[in-house]
Each structure stands twice: as C-alpha cells, then as structure tokens.
C-alpha cells in the first residue's frame, strides 16, 4: 500500500477517539453569522486527502473550483492539514487577507514547518518572520541585487558549459534546481565549490515535500524524511557559520559579502546577535524558499517555450539583441535586465498558469465576519493563486498563454499573486526575477529545444513539476 495512504489510515485510527470527543463537547461559536458553507470531511483528516491528491494528480485548482461552484465563489470552509480552515477565493478575498495582516490575520505555516525548523518554536512564527524580514532588505532589495547580476550570469555560463553543452538530451527540472541552488549557495553563503554545493542539494529536495504534508512522524513518511534532512543540513550549515565567524573576526571575510555575513553581524532591538542555530534555520528557510520555487518557474518557462515556438522566437529576438550589444566576455548587468521586458512578461504568464506556490495560509487572530460569514479566531485561512489566475473574470480566456496580459499596467490589483501580497509578500521576488531572466538569456542564446514526452503529466507536490522532470532534446544554435 502507498505509504501516504498507510499513514493516513494510521492517523485516522489514532485520532478517531480524540475527534469524537471534540465533536461531542466542542464549544458553540459565539459569532453572529453562520460559518462559511462547505464540508469539514473526516475527523482530523478533514479534506486533506482531496486537497493533496488533486495536486498530486496535477490539478490543484480542482479542489478550489469544485468547492467554489458547490458552496460559494468567495469563501468556503474545509479542514486541511489537521486544521479548520476557510478558503478565501477571488480578488476581493485576496485584498481582504493581504490588507489585514496583523489586524485580523497573521501569516501561518502548517505545523509541519515548525517541526522541520525546530528553532522557530522558541518564539512565535510572527516574531520569527519579523526577524527574518528585518535581515533581508539590505541584501534582497533591488539596488543591492544589481551587483549580483554579473555573478549570476557567470554562474549561469558555467552551469550551461558543464551541464547542457555537448548534450543531445537533458532533463530540465533537476538542472534548474542545480542552477538555482548553486546561485543561492554562492549569493547567500559564498560557497563557490560545486562539489560542496552538491553535498547539500539532495536533502533539500526531501524537505520541500515534507513541508506541505500531514505531520506524521513515522519512518518513511515525507514528514519524517524532511525532519531528518533538515537536521543534516543544519549540521552542515553550523560548520559554515562557525567558520565564517572566525573569518569575520580575522578580517578574512567581508561584512557585506553575502546574507550570512549580514545575519552574523545584525543585532536585534536589544543589541543581541542572532544565535548560530537561528541563523542556520533562517538560511535553511531562504534556501528552501528561494530554490524550489524559482526552479519550478524556470522549468515551466522551458516547457512553455518548447510548446509555443512563436513565443520562443520573440524571447530569442529580445535576448539576442542584448547579447549582440555586449563585448566578448562582458557579463549581464542591470541595464540589460531592464531590456528583458517581453521575456519577463513570458515568465509572468508562466507563473500565472503554473504558480510555483499554490497559495499560503493566514490565521484569524480574532473572531470576525467576512461577507456575512463568521470566521472564528484560530481558524486558518488559505488563499490560492489559482482562484484568480484561472478565473475568466480576472484573466479572460484563462487557459490561453498570452504574455501581453502583462503589458502596460498589467493585471488588476490582487488578481496576479504568485508572490502573495501585503506585508508578507515574498521578499525574494526581485531576486527570483533576476535569476529567471539570467537563465532565460543563457538558455535561448545557446539552444532551441523540443519536449521528448509530448503529454508529460504535471504533479504538484507541493511545487508543480513535470512527472519525469521535463526531458528535452537540444538543438544548439549555429555559431
Ligand atoms: C519564483 C520564485 C518565488 C515564488 C513564486 C515565491 C512565492 C512566495 C509566496 C507566495 C510566499 C508567501 C507570501 C504570502 O503569504 O503572502 C513567499 C514567501 C517567502 N519567500 Fe518567496 N517565492 C519565490 C522566490 C523566493 C526567493 C528567491 C526567496 C529568497 C531569496 C524567497 C523567500 C521567501 C521568504 C523568506 C518568504 C516568507 C516571507 C514572510 O513570511 O514574511 N522566495 N514566497
């Protein structure tokens, strides 16, 4: 029997007595309106099976759209990942959630995240995130990132030299991961050596699947594997952190050379430095946040460019104009990135149709009423990119690939949300833009390609990915 279903069965057996007790004795809500319409599903497991399995079958939007049609196009209740939840759908709901951070809601990550990153249990996730965000702007703001574009281009060239050139076929997804991971190791921690990078890479792949999973810590479950992988990586990171501390003390490292130095030297409001384990967890979080998401985006860019030759041709034209304007050996710079307008519109359209993160959670910090429905304090609120990205009211003919949607002012506010919104919007958005564009520049400059599997299935677990990793045959441009 599939391990996933075996664990669900075990969980059901363990949780049944507890859940029956809860059903019989739970306190009545004091809120004025009714709870949103919807179904809570089985005790504890709720509708997690459908929520996760529609993703694994490649249609994460089905969970949302089936219930929007059945219950309400705005908000429906469910129970997922062991939590009572309301799913907020559509533009007005996105606006409501993103504008009420710290007033009615706060950002919330599934319990699995706290177990996989245990040091975040020391304080509330709100405080952790605040700490994290205070570290990031210095490093991730557009002005600071400008000086890393050349480094990104240099790494991209080395990546293509050694992994793509002289190959007739490649599998894109693992290579996209290798590229984004190498960049992150270099820019976050100044790790240059590809062998050192490779040592880290595998356990990372295990962590992502464990984050959005049922938190059952039994041998073999995705959750259990993720906890083990995170312990391994944290140990490795601690070695690097200790070394950097010594290097900073001996002036062998610069205070601004990467995010690790920034974190080691930053103090909180009380003048305290962050402890090493905390830093290891923060870096781990960034590597996870910045690695799988961007590699999913890159893989789908390659997929759509293979399927849409006219879009490929336009991207190629734009990138070759930039390439031709450069002196031999000259690396990409900020001005070049500004010229990649069409390419970025293409990447945006890719992330509309295949958002790397399907959505994220908030938690109600007080009882409130939304659109006539009561939302009890403590409920989890899930917003989903697909509820607007594939909604014909927000994007006419939503299944059509049309980069011109992003021309001019682009989509209406709160409709296009691959990076979330409000104060918790992804702080790595600009970094992701640069790495995706640098990749696009290098791949179209060297190759045209064709998909080897015409109807490769897409799995969403939790990021979207082609089931076989997107094998393609490569056709290098003639020099
Ligand atoms: C295409 C690439 C990426 C996508 C689609 C993406 C998407 C997202 C989304 C949807 C969220 C949740 C926002 C919310 O709840 O409103 C998020 C949070 C976050 N992302 Fe990204 N992300 C990407 C790349 C990155 C990169 C490259 C980094 C780091 C360099 C990063 C770091 C983070 C962090 C730290 C958070 C948590 C922020 C908080 O809780 O305040 N992400 N991202």
Cβ(257)–Cβ(248) under 8 Å? no
Mean pLDDT, to the nearest integer, of 321-327? 97
Which domains are delineated in the chain? Answer: 3-476 (1.10.630.10)
Is 434 buried (19+), middle (13-18) or exposed (0-12) by CB count in 10 A? buried
Atom number in ligand 1 closest to CA 98? 16
pLDDT tier for residue 208 given thresholds of 50, 70 and 90: confident
Mean pLDDT, to the nearest integer, of 109-114? 74
Q: For 359, list phi and psi in degrees, rounded to 5.
A: 170, -175
pLDDT tens-digit series, residues 238-284: 999 999 999 999 999 998 888 899 889 887 777 888 888 888 888 88
CA distance 407 to 394: 15
**How remote is the CA of residue 156 from the centroid of ligand 1, in Å?**
22
Nearest CA to ligand 1 atom 16: 420
Ligand 1 pocket check for 424: Cβ under 6 Å:
yes
Ligand 1 pocket check for 359: Cβ under 6 Å:
no
Q: Which residue is it, tokens 């920034």?
A: 262
pLDDT of residue 22: 40
Ligand 1 pocket check for 374: Cβ under 6 Å:
no
State the pTM of this model: 0.89
- Is 426 marked within a binding site? yes
pLDDT tier for residue 437 given thresholds of 50, 70 and 90: very high
**How remote is the CA of residue 293 from the centroid of ligand 1, in Å?**
8
pLDDT tens-digit series, residues 375-418: 999 999 999 999 999 999 999 999 999 999 999 999 999 999 99
Ligand 1 pocket check for 418: Cβ under 6 Å:
yes
CA distance 111 to 95: 25
pLDDT tens-digit series, residues 136-153: 656 777 877 888 899 999
pLDDT tier for residue 51 given thresholds of 50, 70 and 90: confident
Ligand 1 pocket check for 82: Cβ under 6 Å:
no
Q: Which of 20-34, 90-104, 204-218, 258-272 has the highest average model confidence (pLDDT)? A: 90-104
Q: Is pLDDT larger for residue 271 or for residue 298?
A: 298
Mutate to test the pocket of ligand 1, among 133, 383, 426, 464 (most ligand atoms within 8 A of CB): 426
């Amino acid at each position: 029997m599939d391990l996933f279903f075996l664990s669900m069965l075990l969980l059901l057996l363990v949780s049944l007595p507890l859940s029956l007790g809860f059903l019989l004795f739970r306190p009545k809500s004091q809120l004025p309106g009714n709870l949103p319409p919807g179904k809570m599903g089985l005790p504890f497991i709720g509708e997690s099976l459908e929520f996760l399995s529609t993703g694994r079958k490649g249609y994460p939007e089905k969970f949302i759209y089936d219930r929007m049609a059945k219950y309400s196009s705005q908000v429906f209740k469910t129970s997922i990942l062991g939590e009572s939840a309301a799913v907020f759908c559509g533009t007005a709901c996105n606006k409501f959630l993103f504008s009420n951070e710290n007033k009615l809601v706060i950002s919330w990550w599934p319990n699995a995240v706290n177990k996989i990153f245990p040091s975040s249990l020391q304080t509330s996730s709100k405080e952790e995130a605040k700490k994290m965000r205070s570290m990031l702007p210095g490093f991730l703001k557009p002005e600071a990132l400008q000086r890393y574009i050349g480094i990104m281009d240099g790494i991209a060239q080395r990546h293509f030299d050694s992994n793509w050139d002289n190959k007739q076929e490649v599998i894109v997804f693992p290579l996209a991961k290798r590229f984004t991971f190498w960049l992150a190791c270099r820019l976050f921690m100044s790790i240059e050596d590809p062998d050192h990078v490779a040592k880290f890479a595998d356990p990372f792949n295990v962590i992502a699947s464990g984050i959005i999973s049922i938190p059952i810590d039994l041998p073999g479950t995705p959750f259990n594997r993720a906890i083990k992988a995170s312990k391994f990586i944290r140990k490795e990171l601690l070695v690097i952190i200790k070394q950097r501390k010594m290097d900073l003390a001996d002036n062998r490292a610069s205070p601004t050379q990467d995010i690790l130095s920034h974190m080691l030297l930053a103090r909180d409001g009380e003048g305290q430095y962050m402890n090493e384990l905390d830093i290891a967890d923060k870096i781990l979080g960034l590597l996870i946040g910045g690695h799988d998401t961007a590699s999913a985006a890159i893989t789908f860019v390659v997929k759509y460019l293979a399927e849409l030759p006219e879009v490929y041709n336009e991207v190629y034209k734009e990138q070759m104009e930039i390439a031709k304007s450069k002196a031999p050996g000259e690396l990409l710079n900020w001005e070049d990135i500004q010229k990649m307008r069409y390419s970025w519109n293409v990447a945006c359209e890719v992330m509309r149709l295949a958002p790397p993160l399907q959505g994220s959670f908030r938690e109600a910090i007080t009882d409130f009423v939304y659109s006539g429905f009561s939302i009890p304090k403590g409920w989890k609120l899930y917003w989903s990119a697909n509820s607007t990205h594939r909604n014909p009211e927000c994007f006419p003919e939503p299944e059509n690939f049309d980069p011109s949607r992003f021309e001019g002012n682009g989509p209406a506010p709160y409709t296009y949300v691959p990076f979330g919104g409000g104060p918790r919007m992804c702080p790595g958005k600009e970094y992701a833009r640069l790495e995706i564009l640098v990749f696009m520049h290098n791949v179209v400059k060297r190759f045209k390609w064709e998909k080897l599997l015409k109807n490769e299935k897409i799995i969403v677990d939790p990021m979207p990915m082609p089931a076989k990793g997107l094998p393609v045959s490569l056709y290098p441009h003639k020099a």
